[in-house]
Structure 1
Amino acid sequence: MRPGAESTVCSHCGEVAEGTQPTWTCSVENHTRHYFCEACARANLRAIESRLDSAWW
């Protein structure tokens, strides 16, 4: 699937989803929104809860 105007791309693995998914996580880092798919969010839950930037995952 190719990203379109109404799609969301996971900032960690590159998975593409139509629209904003309710199970995805949104993080604001350096004034930029980053979206993470359910699998990446689950795999990095402790880092997200610790508020580590995604570059440290």
Structure 2
Amino acid sequence: MGDVTTCDFCGTQAPAEQTLTWTTSVENGRRRTYCDTCSRTHLRAMEGKLDSEWW
């Protein structure tokens, strides 16, 4: 069984090989990973480089 990746916003989990389209960012020195749904929903905030706590 492969590694599982978890969305840091909603908690969705998927096998690592299925997360190629997920978004990653670094906030306060910590790597964050977001699923496709959260990425689309919060795209403007991500582009504005707002920390996820502001979404």
Give the TM-score of the pair, scaled to structure 1.
0.86
Mapped to 1, the partners of 2:8 and 2:31 lie a distance apart of 9
Mapped to 2, the partners of 1:17 and 1:28 lie a distance apart of 20
Give the TM-score of the pair, scaled to structure 2.
0.89
- Equivalent in the alignment of 1:15: 12
Q: CA deviation at 1:41?
A: 0.3
- Equivalent in the alignment of 1:40: 38
Q: Structure 1 stretches (4+) deviating beyond 6 angstroms?
A: none
Q: CA deviation at 1:53?
A: 0.2
Cα-Cα RMSD: 1.6
Which stretches in structure 2 are left out of the alignment for 5+ residues? Answer: none
Residues 18 and 49 (structure 1 numbering): CA distance in 2 closer, same or farther, change over 3 Å?
Answer: same
Q: CA deviation at 1:5?
A: 7.1
Which stretches in structure 1 are left out of the alignment for 5+ residues? Answer: none
